[in-house]
Each structure stands twice: as C-alpha cells, then as structure tokens.
Amino acid sequence: MLEPASYQQVTDWLDARTAEPAPEDLATARSPGRVLAGGVSVPDDYPAAPTAAADGYALLSQATLGASDYNPLPLRIGSTVEPVVSGQRLPGNTDAVIRHEDTDRRGEVLDVYAPVASGDNVIPVGREARRGETLFGAGHVLRPADVALLIELGVATVPVVRRPRIGVVVVRGDVPDACGPMVRALVAMDGGAGDQPVHPDETGLAAALAGRDDDLLIVIGGSGTGGNDHAAEALREAGEVTFRGVAISPGETVTLGVVRGRPVIVLPGPPLAALCAYDMLAGRAVRQLAGRSPRLPYGTRRGTLVRKIASGLGRLECCRVRVIGERVEPIAVADNRTLSTAVRADGFVLVPEQSEGFAEGDEVTVYLYAQRY
Amino acid sequence: MLEPASYQQVTDWLDARTAEPAPEDLATARSPGRVLAGGVSVPDDYPAAPTAAADGYALLSQATLGASDYNPLPLRIGSTVEPVVSGQRLPGNTDAVIRHEDTDRRGEVLDVYAPVASGDNVIPVGREARRGETLFGAGHVLRPADVALLIELGVATVPVVRRPRIGVVVVRGDVPDACGPMVRALVAMDGGAGDQPVHPDETGLAAALAGRDDDLLIVIGGSGTGGNDHAAEALREAGEVTFRGVAISPGETVTLGVVRGRPVIVLPGPPLAALCAYDMLAGRAVRQLAGRSPRLPYGTRRGTLVRKIASGLGRLECCRVRVIGERVEPIAVADNRTLSTAVRADGFVLVPEQSEGFAEGDEVTVYLYAQRY
C-alpha cells in the first residue's frame, strides 16, 4: 500500500533539482522563442549614423526653404542632393530626407515641391538603442521582433537556456502506445527536447534507466501496485526511489527518484493519470529546466460552479470541467479513470490539499487546455 | 506615387485566395498541434469490453458480500478471482475489481477485507466513447490528450490540414539579414512550413519569383518608391501586381500580386513596417492556409489610454503601446520607423480606417506581443 507524500513536499524536492537551467550561446538568427540565460546589452549606439526613414533624396533642409507646389525649387543632384532608400545612412553633408512624392526629377535636376526641416524623415543616432543599455534580461523569451532588432544591433550570438534533454521511456505494453506521443507533445510545448519515446521490455528496464543521460527522465507506466510496479522496482534497482506515490488525483501512484544524480519521474500508465501527473509534476520540472516559469502554462479564466466539487482532504485534485460562458460545469467528478473526461473538458479546476472541494455557486479558476496552441 | 488600396479590399482578395487549405492524412501519433481537415468519428465502442480501472483482483462482487476488517472472506484465486492491472480487460466471469489495499494474499487464497459492488473499479463498455460518435470536427486543433484518446480508440490516421509551404525571399541587401529570421519565426508560429529565407540578387529576382512553387510567397524589401521598388518590378515581370500599396501604417508600401496562380506579398524592407504588414496581411494568409482562424493570434486585454492616439482617416494604424496594470501608454506615436518601438512595447492598439484615433481615457483593446510563446 502506498503512503503518498504531500504535493508541496514533492515539488520542493523537484524544484531544487531543476532550478539551474544550463546556458549555451546561440546564433541570434536561430533564437526566436528561446529563453535568455543572461542579459543582452547594446554594443553600440544604433543607428550609428543618421539614417533615412523614407525613400527619397537626402539633402540640406535649408535648401528647401520656401518650396511649394506653386514655387518648386530646382536643386542639382550631387553630394548634397542624393537619392536614398529607407534604412540607408545619410550622406555627410545632408540633414533631412524629402520623399519622392514631394519631388520631380528631370535628369540631373530635382524639382522640390515642399520644404523639409532638419531631421525630417531621418532616424537620429541612437534612436533605436543606446550603447550599454540592457535591452533584455535573463528569463526573457525572445520574440521575432526582438531577434530582428538584435541582428540589426550587430549582436551575433545570445546566451540562451539550453533545451533540456527529456527522455521518455514507456513501460506499459500498450500496442499501440497512446501515452508516449501525448507526453512527447507536452514536453515539446514546455520547451524540452529529446528523441521519440523508447519501449524497453520489463526485464531490461532497470538497465535502460541506468544507461540514460537525460536532464530528466520520464517513465510511463509500472508505477502501480501488486504486479504493476515494474518501473518503481526498476528505479529502485537503477538508482533510488524518493517518493512512492504523491497526494494528487488522478495520478496518485506517481513515483519519483534519482538515477546517476538526475531526477526520474514515473507517471502512471492509465492516460488520464499520466496526463494529470505530467501537468502537476513532470511539466513543472521540464519548464524549470527550460528556464520558464514553473507555473501551469495554461490560460486561465474565472467562472461560477453550477455543481459542487467534492474532494478528499489532504490531496490535490484535478477536476475536469466544461466552460459555458461564465458557467463552470464539472465533468464526472467521480470518474478519475477515463481520458475522455479530459478530452471533453475545456480545462480543469484544482482543489487544494487543505480543501474538501467547492460549493455550487463558488467562483473558481479554470485552467484552459485549449490555449496552448 | 502610390495609391493605396483599402485594408478591407485587400483582405477580401487575400482571403479568397487562401480560404481552402489542403488536407492530408497523418499518423495520429504525429498529429499533436495539427488542425483537423475533417471530422473524426469513433470506430467502435471504447472500451470494447469492461476494463479494470485500478490494480487489484477481478472478481464476482456477490462473493464479497459481508466482507470487512473484522470479517475477512477467503476466496480462492482462479477463473473468478484473478489479478488485473489498471487498463486490462476483465475476465469473462467477473463484474468488479477490488483494490490490492483491500485484500491480503496468502498463496492461492485471497483474503478480502471490504465488499465491492458490481461495476466497482470497472470502466464499462463505451464509457470513453461510443461507436459512430463524432469526437472532433474540422478545424479542431488536436491537443496531446486528444491524440492519446484517438490512439486508444484505434484511429491510426487523421485528416489534417497540410502545413502550407511559405517561401521567404529577402531582397534588401542587409548584411546580416534582420527581417528574414523574424518573418520565418512568425510563419512558423502561424503554422506555416518552409525552408530558410533565400537572398537572390536584384537582377535575378524576377526569375527567382517565377521559379517558386510555394502556397504563398513572402518577399521582403523592394516595395518602396524611386529606386527602391525592385521587388514590385520583379513581381510585375514574373506575374502581376494587384495592389501597389495598402492603407495600413506602418507598412503602407506593402504590395500584393500573383505568380503562377499563387499569391505573393511583398513586405516593406524596414523591419517595423515588415512586422506590421506581416501581422495585418501575410500572417492572416498563412493562418488561413494552415486551417487556423485568420484573426490576429495575439492574446488581448482591455485598458485605458493615458494619452491620446492620433491617426489619419482612411488608414488602419498599428500603434505600439506599453501596458502598466490597467493603463495603456502609447509609444512614440509619431515614430513609425523604428523597430525598437515594437520591441519596447507590450503590444499594439489598432486604429480602424474610419477613425481619427482615440482620446485620453478611452478604453481600448491591446493585442499582446508576448503571449504567443
């Protein structure tokens, strides 16, 4: 019989083993979506010289004084009247850009139909960024535009969190394997990398665990009781079992331990239990190793319960719900075994360990499954 | 001089050319995150037979009547008292599962310490899904748990929207290229596939466009005026230009046309204009081709403007803002040229074509850049 550890105790243990993500340097062009492992500073003022902000002609603004549709000023193309395109550095003797639509070119003469002031259509030195400025701090997730700006600034590589290698080992002899692809997809969404799940047979399991070199190893199946404890036994043989069962539901048989100094999480084989135990424990570890927030990555919304949720004191319960407008409807509260309760749900409500549930009419927070893609 | 088309006119044209995403059949295990191109029905009741929902012993419930801690009932292991693990089909002559913790085994005798009712710890036939039931409709994005359930149900392949091939051709001679990696990342986030950006020289551009076979071609740079219109000219040469300029800002020189029956979008070369024109036009096309909603994929929130936003009548304006609590602060409204205004922003506010802007104190919707990873 299992004596489950408290959720808090287990997350404290797991957090301590996943709190220091490993850094690596990466070409800036390949870094969208990655998490910065350190701050990024601006190497030089950008732009380094006044730069055209429009297509047209760079010129001296004072030469356009008084120009209008009724009084076009003819200027000779030359060192102080030069065609430029947006983004191009201004020639030395010019201080403004006039747009094509305010000019008319006849051979080497440019008729100017409007005045421009000094600095018009020009990006001044350092307008984008100042030398030494810290543009992004550690933990920032690089967005596509961030990457474009860093490339413009001449930042060739950035320090990012290395994608943690997450091994997925499937024990349960399901043919075909339903849990492996699910957990693999969850790992990828949480920022982990790794190969396809492997499926060693039960006799070779301990050796398979001992031979891995992942940052985190997720084993699926064999965490149960009676003859269904192959993975827990293999973990004991290959390393050590630290927690045999955790006070979460579904997923109470989840087992944690260590092999060669690396954390191992054995998820229960039934898919719903595997999903919930992944969400509450394994996903948290993957996200921490990937430099992300350990918090649940699902979008949330508030709503009002249309039926009560009863839960046992002392365990963290993940209750699947439907959301219809502001109404939150629990799905088959008693049914903690069928995956379709998660598939038919919009998300889930968590009932904390120290609570016996929520009453009809209570306002609750729903974590929304759908909002991760 | 450009005569920009209205945003509505251009999106109508673009939507008509991207409204029919192509389907393909994909192995279910590889389908997380993909969009269904058609509905998926349940092939057979699942489970097809009563199935154990816990580890323990399958037995006849009536044999446990009266069992208690004070009155353990000894049952002989055999065809009506068999060990089972969670997920295993129940033997024919049994109707319930008793958990290990309510039993004690002595050799071939099982002492039972609690009564179970018929169906206890059993998943009945069809509880997960019923034969013929439509589980997911076209347009549904497959979540990891959906995929696990489909595999359990025996659905080996699913009809999904083929990832559209999106070509990215960079014209502007930026060394290094800042826009290519940005647009490539945006395309991937919107569900498009394709190779790394290519960088043909200006003289070979028309031939490069004519030789492509993408579902959508995005060209970056050369949409401008004067000598900065190489891409627009190449598009005219390789196919046809349909819209030369669109009433959006930033990004007003964006140019659209057709080569070999496929839509081509020429984004302006300056990164901020490329970003906004991508968001408002190209991303919409990619998402439609990928079977997703054409709407902006950014999370939104409401807030109150702390300064007015002025905008020209007749153009759709994308105004970068910071969000501090409930307060929405426009960034450098006049500065439509520097990418750092987007990088320093939390998101943007859209000013519609028929509006001249918003007043201080107006409540506005902010599209949040950060919430896509």
pLDDT along chain B (373 residues), means of 10: 84 95 96 96 96 94 95 94 92 94 94 96 94 96 96 96 96 81 96 91 90 94 85 94 95 95 95 96 97 92 95 91 95 79 94 93 92 57
For residue A352, the distance in angstroms to the closest alpha carbon of chain B comes to: 23
CB atoms within 10 A of CB A8: 11
Distance, CA of A295 to CA of A336 (rounded, Å): 23
For residue B70, the distance in angstroms to the closest alpha carbon of chain A comes to: 19
Q: Find the closest chain A residue to B155 by CA distance.
A: A176
Subunit contact B149:A179, Cβ cutoff 8 A: no
DSSP state letter for A141: B
Residue of A207, A206, A62, A212 lying closest to A197 (CA atoms):
A212
Number of A/B CB contacts below 8 angstroms equals 201
Please write down the HEC assignment for all residues of A40-54: EECCCCECCCCEECC
Tokens representing residue B329 in the block: 């602060």
Taking contacts as CB-CB distances below 8 angstroms, the residues of chain A near B172 are 87
Distance, CA of A213 to CA of A195 (rounded, Å): 12
Is the bond preceding residue A47 a cis peptide, omega within 30 degrees? yes
Task: Please tell me the total number of residues recorded for chain A in this structure.
Answer: 373
Each of the 373 residues of chain A gets a pLDDT tens digit; together they read: 457 999 999 999 999 999 989 999 999 999 999 999 999 999 999 999 999 998 899 999 999 999 999 999 999 999 899 999 888 999 999 999 999 999 999 999 999 999 999 999 999 999 999 999 999 999 999 999 999 999 999 999 999 999 999 999 999 665 789 999 999 999 999 999 988 889 998 888 999 999 998 999 999 998 888 778 889 999 999 999 999 999 999 999 999 999 999 999 999 999 999 999 999 999 999 999 999 999 999 989 999 999 999 888 889 999 999 999 999 999 976 677 899 999 999 999 999 999 999 999 999 999 998 765 5
Residue of A99, A97, A44, A145 lying closest to B331 (CA atoms):
A145
Taking contacts as CB-CB distances below 8 angstroms, the residues of chain B near A255 are none
| B291, B21 contact by CB (below 8 A) | yes
| B254, B268 contact by CB (below 8 A) | yes
Taking contacts as CB-CB distances below 8 angstroms, the residues of chain B near A143 are 343, 369-370, 372-373
Subunit contact A148:B53, Cβ cutoff 8 A: no
**Is the alpha carbon torsion for A284, A309, A362, A327 positive or negative?**
positive
Is the bond preceding residue A250 a cis peptide, omega within 30 degrees? yes
Residue of A279, A243, A266 lying closest to A169 (CA atoms):
A266
Write the ipTM. 0.91
Cα A243 to Cα A76, A142, A222, A285, distances in angstroms: 83, 36, 14, 15
Helix pair B179-189, A144-152: axis angle to 10 deg: 170
| B15, B261 contact by CB (below 8 A) | no
Q: Find the closest chain B residue to A52 by CA distance.
A: B337
The owner of tokens 């389908």 is B31
Q: Find the closest chain B residue to A128 by CA distance.
A: B340
Distance, CA of A133 to CA of A113 (rounded, Å): 41
Residue of A174, A245, A169, A165 lying closest to A206 (CA atoms):
A169
The region that residue B322 occupies, defined by phi over 0 for left and psi between -120 and 50 for alpha, beta otherwise, is beta
Q: Count of alpha carbons within 13 Å of A131, Cβ hemisphere only?
A: 6
Residue of A270, A263, A220 lying closest to A242 (CA atoms):
A263
Q: Nearest 5°: CA angle at A248, between A165 and A253?
A: 70
Taking contacts as CB-CB distances below 8 angstroms, the residues of chain B near A370 are 141, 143
Subunit contact B56:A225, Cβ cutoff 8 A: yes
The owner of tokens 């037995």 is B59
For residue A362, the distance in angstroms to the closest alpha carbon of chain B comes to: 25
Distance, CA of A327 to CA of A306 (rounded, Å): 6
pLDDT at residue B228 in the model: 83
| A72, A104 contact by CB (below 8 A) | yes
pLDDT at residue B104 in the model: 94
For residue B333, the distance in angstroms to the closest alpha carbon of chain A comes to: 14
Nearest to B369 among A143, A148, A343 (CB): A143
Distance, CA of A9 to CA of B195 (rounded, Å): 47
Q: Which helix (H) or strand (E) holds A148?
A: helix A144-152
Q: Which amino acid is at A359?
A: A
Residue of A243, A293, A360, A172 lying closest to A2 (CA atoms):
A243
Pairing relationship of beta strands A96-99 and A56-59 according to DSSP bridges: antiparallel
Q: Which residues contact A323 (CB under 8 A, 6 or more apart)?
A: A301, A303, A329, A346, A347, A366, A368
CA A240 to chain centre: 31
Distance, CA of A178 to CA of B154 (rounded, Å): 10
Subunit contact B87:A172, Cβ cutoff 8 A: yes
Q: Which residues contact B247 (CB under 8 A, 6 or more apart)?
A: B4, B5, B6, B7, B314, B315, B316, B353
The owner of tokens 């043989």 is A237
pLDDT at residue B195 in the model: 86
Subunit contact B86:A186, Cβ cutoff 8 A: no
Helices (H), chain B: 7-18, 144-152, 179-189, 205-210, 230-238, 271-277, 283-289, 340-343
pLDDT at residue A313 in the model: 87
Q: Nearest 5°: CA angle at B321, between B315 and B322?
A: 175
The owner of tokens 């300056």 is B270
For residue A205, the distance in angstroms to the closest alpha carbon of chain B comes to: 18
Subunit contact A149:B85, Cβ cutoff 8 A: no
Distance, CA of A133 to CA of A42 (rounded, Å): 5
Cα A316 to Cα A196, A210, A245, A249, A277, distances in angstroms: 31, 31, 13, 6, 11
pTM of the model: 0.91
Subunit contact B226:A55, Cβ cutoff 8 A: yes
- Classified as helix, coil or strand, A18 is helix
Taking contacts as CB-CB distances below 8 angstroms, the residues of chain B near A337 are 53-54, 86, 123
B328-337: which pairs have CB atoms within 8 A and are 24 or more residues apart? Answer: B328/B303, B328/B304, B328/B364, B328/B366, B329/B305, B330/B305, B333/B309, B335/A127, B336/B249, B336/B250, B336/B272, B336/B273, B337/A53, B337/A54, B337/A86, B337/A123, B337/B250, B337/B270, B337/B272, B337/B273
The owner of tokens 């057709």 is B258
Choose the mutation target among A101, A153, A225 for the interface with B, i.e. most B CBs under 10 Å.
A225
Cβ density class A29-38: b for 16+ within 10 Å, e for less: bebbbbbbbe
Taking contacts as CB-CB distances below 8 angstroms, the residues of chain A near B269 are 85-87
- Classified as helix, coil or strand, A281 is helix
